Structure 1
């Protein structure tokens, strides 16, 4: 079956063959370029319908354009997201922004840059500023560059806590090592687990298929149907329309992000505010004309499998409209003393908790006497459920992956040692491209672990966390990365370690606030970075 070619030389099937998961033959004829052992497609239907089974390994990838635009996109997104992250209504720019913006820049560079080779002075190395048309693989690599900088640096929050809230000093080198190690440790873990979470055909990462579809729309040559639109034309219409509308709820008329008619009618009633508020209440009778609000609890329906959306929606409904109202109006744990929905902590009188009264300013440790004289910490009933369900989510993740994917993981383990896979995409990658050697990831892990210990133990112990805390955080990632990775790769749901890590280090090493947040960062962020890189 001939497949249409795009301008980058990569082909996509407009009508992919539908196969059974255990099939090893295409139902009809296959392009002659594919060898006999490569004709089977992915066992996942969504992948078969989205991802091409052909590849052109002759396309230039690591070009001057890739490095230049990739580094610029990474640095720009990192700066902007960090800058806007300090706003109360923070603005987040994802790699999709760079994915769209670099396409005309890449094509412009391909049109104007000289094609003559440039030789590095004093060496025999040379490279071309313009190896040909801007192609799909350059575009994908630039987007990966951008994604590396778009997620922000979680460790900056620790530095902000120390300087802005606790008004203390932190050594610049300690801050730099903390930032560097928390960002790069996860990359080492990603390389170690790539055989299970990348090479496996059953780990299909639903959100990535949206990106693949967008790349196809931007690069694939397509004949416009009569009275219809091509993929690229449809994408541009939606892009311009959504951008034009986004100005309305986020600049011209912010109140339409939560229209609460119950609050408008009974504006002096506290109960009405609790029931009807879309911002600090249950939101009953409230609706929104802002897509960011509508999809905030569940993400984009285009990127999530249907069963995952239904599962989350049912859980959301039961928690928000059944458990929380029952516990609040029965005054469980004196819930009525505090707001029904709040992420703040409170004292026994319902006021925001004064942390300064329970913190020793000289050694920056917990003041037990001050705590006993002041008040216990209280949470809103919503926040209490949030913490409780976080523990339940992690336990459910481990049991779910063991019961539903245990056999696949065991088979994948045996297959990994034989270096033999049943997925056409994995075989094409292994055939045409040399993988980063495994020792590179082990070396990165060792170096970053050593630097993490130096950051925590050195500089007068400013970060408070001892060396065993770093080792324990790494062990926590080792235990949870595979089950959480499997869950993310199949459902787009990604539980975090931020809550359980706070509990563990708080129990084992109590009374040290910075040790708590540093431990949480080394466990939670390392796992997030590993998942993102995978």
Structure 2
């Protein structure tokens, strides 16, 4: 509700809570002090931090409507089946398809409203018994925001256990190991749920405080509230949402299918069309980026929203400033390493994640394996150690730099805030209005989290002792400890900045160092370790959504577990069916237009590479700089802190060495044409719109971002099945200048 602050000076406490529009007035000095010195432009607040988001973007309205209902459970189950089955199905397809959270959110809403509108109301019947049954089945009942959130939460949780299923797929394909049903059930259960306890333990730090915004999910939260809170009052905005979704859907047909040049517009590549081949290769390396592993994409511009996404409309300016610095480093260093021939870079492709022999030929991991699924070092030394492209080395190095910097940055710059948040949570004095609004609901007892962890832990322990994982019990415990150590830092960074740090590689690197020559052990080690981190972030993120939308704590906890287990079970059943029936083609390095084992092949190749960690990354290894990156990364925030002490003015600069180093090498493979577009979108949203037109920003920035995502992803989903080969038959659009046969940006 709009709150009176002082004698008629009215300030909206959240964007459109269903009240009639209220004219904002510039508050006086006393009111500014009361509202924590909120900054106003043209009578409207400028969003600067989490407190502003809580007060002016997210409504604290709570209608007390039911959350866990028969309808929410059915819709959640239905769309969990859809999202999890499609995801695992396309793990084995040449064209990858993922069902996005916004897309699921819209699907659930459509079906939920249909359930409300097209089922008979209980009042139409005279029988009290029938009325009771129909109410239990939610026939003719209002589809509320909490039901919507719970159903979408269940559906989105369906892929939490994917990592464990992928490990079993690799076992079946590359090691011809068919684990028992008990091993499969216990390992999938353990891997899927082992990280939940950390999110529970760390709730006072990573969920309750207002500054823990989880910025990347704001479009979803704003969309939830606009769809459900007085849609008549929000009619103007919902109409604009519908138009934006429709326009995005129609537009996506062009860059994704008919005019692929729109996915990467490079003036430099066009200018080089008549140049000699060597010149064109250089231009492609520097300016090309519309195709996978094509080039750096410098000054390349994409109009394809499926790559840009609303992320860059929602991430705060403090995060995006650091990513822009990282991108500048990325362009300079990637080109310098390749043209400086670092690690014999010119023998290999400019960008590629494949392994190579020292002579430039591709390295085949199976050539050094024995029939026990471990490395035959005699064969390895005969063939030679694998080599990496300079782009891959830089990507691995920056990941380690970021992980090291993450630890010391959080401890140096956020330690006092962490202590304060913990004290406020214990005394229930956390000032965030959404936290205060949730105090009326029963919290999840800590013993629930502990009980779940004990079950997951012993399930994993049984698997490592009795199963054929080649991972010893002590290695399993180390993997959990590693994940538990990194997870709190990851959650804090994600909550504050809306972005995380890739930790997958650290798990594999340590697994290789501890268990040399055992790629299967590395697969299991990384699955447990990385899942602890991933699930901690995922659960914390959804707990924050629940706090914003006032879904009771215990329902959030129970439904996420249900969705995770259901999705993992469905993933496993579909995986067995595909691997059993398509084994031969999945083992083929090329595959066909229907099936491809490239995803699982890549997973296994990485495991083999890291199982050679001592030879490849050790003291005498060629890439020792990669593990040293952890140590260097630990020192970077210390250097930053020291510079602040010497030059206090630097403290005002929102520098974050974690994000800078992460983005300096995050895109070491794939397409890069969208980088420039994301920067433009970020400047438009966070620099210009947020400060110059705060009313438009507060009302439409996140809502329109969700609409653009939904429209683009809806069409990509349809195109994938209809014409892009996901259904087995590809129907390419006719080749013409706007849809060239080669790279879409007309590079070489």
When the two structures are superposed, what TM-score results if normalisation uses the length of structure 1? Answer: 0.85
After superposition, the C-alpha distances for 1:433-472 in whole angstroms (9 at most, x for unaligned) are 112211000000010011011122213xx22111112211
| Residue 486 (structure 2) pairs with residue 475 (structure 1) | no
- Specify which of 347, 352, 376 is matched with residue 357 of structure 2: 347
Q: Report which stretch shifted further, 137-146 or 435-444.
A: 137-146
Match among 343, 349, 356 for residue 366 of structure 2: 356
Change in Cα spacing, 1:417 to 1:2, as seen in structure 2 (3 Å) is closer
Equivalents in 2 of 1:276, 1:344: separation in Å? 22
Structure 2: distance between partners of 1:104 and 1:339: 47
CA contact (8 A) 2:120 2:139 kept: yes
Give the CA deviation at 1:14: 6.0
State the partner residue of 1:247.
253
In structure 1, list runs of 5 or more residues that go unmatched.
28-41
Pick from 397, 400, 405 the counterpart of residue 391 of structure 1: 400
Tell me which residue corresponds to 2:188.
179
1:283 paired with 2:297, answer: yes
RMSD: 3.2
1:74 corresponds to 2:84: no
SS at match of 2:162: coil
Aligned residues: 500
Counterpart CA distance in 1 for 2:106 and 2:143 is 14
Please say if residues 10 and 55 of structure 1, whose CA atoms lie closer than 8 Å, have aligned partners that are also in contact: no
Paired position in structure 1 for 2:240:
234
- Gap runs ≥5 in structure 2: 4-10, 37-48, 541-748
Contact 2:17 2:230 in 1 (8 A): no
Q: Distance in 1 between matches of 2:229 and 2:208?
A: 26
Higher helix share: 2
**Contact 1:304–1:491 at 8 Å: present in 2 too?**
yes
Aligned position for 1:524: 530
Q: 1:456 — aligned with what?
A: 464
SS in 1 for 2:194: helix
Distance 1:163 1:256, change over 3 A: farther
CA distance in 2, matches of 1:69, 1:118: 26
Q: Which has the higher contact order (CA 8 A, sep 6+)?
A: 2
Q: Distance in 1 between matches of 2:462 and 2:57?
A: 46
Aligned residues of 2:69 and 2:147 also touching (Cα < 8 A): yes
Structure 1 residues 332 and 56 mapped into 2: Cα distance closer, same or farther (>3 Å)? same
Please give the alpha-carbon distance, in whole angstroms, between the structure 1 residues aligned to 2:17 and 2:283.
58
2:285 to 260, 270, 274: 274
SS in 1 for 2:423: helix
Contact 2:265 2:301 in 1 (8 A): yes
2:439 aligned counterpart, secondary structure: helix
1:412–1:350 Cα change, 3 Å: same
| CA gap 1:97/1:220 in 2 versus in 1, 3 angstroms | same
Pairwise mapping of residues 78-117 of structure 1 onto structure 2 (< 5 A)? 78-111=84-117, 112-115=119-122
**Does residue 166 of structure 2 align to residue 161 of structure 1?**
no
2:450 aligned with 1:442: yes
Of 249-258 and 415-424, more deviation after overlay is shown by 249-258
Structure 2 vs 1, CA of residues 114 and 387 (structure 1 numbering), >3 Å: closer, same or farther? same
* Cα offset, 1:71, TM superposition: 1.4
Following the alignment from structure 1 to structure 2, what is the Cα–Cα distance between the partners of residues 17 and 427?
27
Aligned 8 A contact 1:94 1:150 in 2: no
Q: Distance in 2 between matches of 1:45 and 1:83?
A: 42
2:311 equivalent among 278, 297, 300: 300
TM-score by length of 2: 0.62
1:99 to 1:351, Cα distance in 2 relative to 1, 3 A: same
Indicate the residue corresponding to 1:323 in structure 2.
333
Do the aligned partners of 2:465 and 2:473 also contact (CA within 8 Å) in 1? Answer: yes
Q: Sort the Cα spacing of 1:13 and 1:350 in 2 relative to 1 into closer, same or farther, 3 A.
A: farther
Matches within 5 A, 1:111-150: 111=117, 112-115=119-122, 127=136, 129-130=138-139, 132-150=141-159
Q: Please state how far the C-alpha of 1:172 moved relative to its aligned partner.
A: 3.9
Aligned to 1:488, what secondary structure does the other structure show?
Answer: helix
1: CA distance, partners of 2:168 / 2:59: 45
